[in-house]
Structure 1
């Protein structure tokens, strides 16, 4: 759906990383890499850290913060990531909330996001009918 591509280098691709607590990834970004996280962090909740990056710049994401990347340029963007886990998993927020299987009870989402049912139906339809 977003067409970003992540090429991981973790313990599954490089067994020598076992017990080192590190991995890496190359990310070829589509215009938007949607919000995602690795694990929750209640300390810095609701705080937005934003920065325009240029070739050669670096940005550090604190584990547990929901983060995203938005390509404002006209060309494709590429990034290289170093991760503090030998097998880091990604939790894409929208996929978990609106594309979960089985689906989350719409009443929970309506109340949690304080929106009407038609909004939840529209968002869920993006994950249940879109196959690209």
Structure 2
């Protein structure tokens, strides 16, 4: 029996991020610059992520680069995201639903909430509006 070192593999974290964004595999692959078949193989554990794969994904999702790469914390420094507003919203939603991602980041949940209050308010508005 092989002991799994991480709670989730990099491919599983990559799939989680893609699904939270509500993107198809081809759409996500285009955004990060990885071929859809390679992305499928990584997500399903048939191939490991190479350095260039991490570089492509982490350059698009800088705030989550340590988490994507090795299940590290979400970075405490506010970063300007290079992705669409919907992706930032998905990233905030991810931390909102999984505050343990902040555990070793050095930022408190209250500080994180104050930095992302506008997006959190928008998320709350969306959940209150069944049509949204």
Instruction: Looking at secondary structure, tell me which structure has more helix per residue.
Output: 2
TM-score by length of 1: 0.28
Higher relative contact order (CA 8 A, sep 6+): 1
Which structure has the larger Rg over C-alpha atoms?
1
Instruction: Looking at secondary structure, tell me which structure has more strand per residue.
Output: 1
